[in-house]
Amino acid sequence: MGIEEEIKQKKFRSEHHKMLINLMFTTNSIGAAQNKVFKPYGLSSQQYNILRILRGQHPKPAPLNLIQERMLDKNSNASRLVDKLILKKLVERKECLHDKRQVDIVITETGLELLKQLDGIIEKNEEFLTVLTDKEAKEMNRLLDKLRG
């Protein structure tokens, strides 16, 4: 279904404006579908993103600034999100050995197990992406990279 039917709008200022609306609508739609996956596990998409970052660092710890720079949502409050993950025992703080002012964050075994559980569910949830061929996905990536400059 086209964006016109989805949002019941027939006219757009330009093709560029239509593209922007389409991107925002599609992003929100995908985000909502992902949030449905995370909700039963008590996670937000931002918390899931932090867990993935920490799994990529594992077994090395990650300082908060590294987590923040790698996050998909640059406006997220990484410190607050980490605090919530600590309460859930999915991550923990460790004292940095070479800089006492820095606090390192590490994923716990519980966090790793949760991600392992979610991996298959996320993969199945992303099957809708296969409506695009690999060539189309590559072109979409190129175009999105171009838009971000």
pLDDT at 94: 87
Peptide bond into 59 cis (omega under 30): yes
In the chain, the percentage of residues whose pLDDT exceeds 70 is: 100
CA 149 to chain centre: 20
pLDDT at 103: 84
Spell out the domain ranges in the chain: 41-126
114-129: pLDDT as tens digits = 999 999 999 998 999 9
Fold annotation for 41-126:
Arc Repressor Mutant, subunit A (1.10.10)
Q: H/E element holding 46?
A: helix 45-57
Q: In this structure, what are the phi and psi dihedrals at residue 89, rounded to the nearest 5 degrees?
A: 60, 30
22-67: pLDDT as tens digits = 999 999 999 999 999 999 999 999 999 999 999 999 999 999 999 9
pLDDT at 97: 75
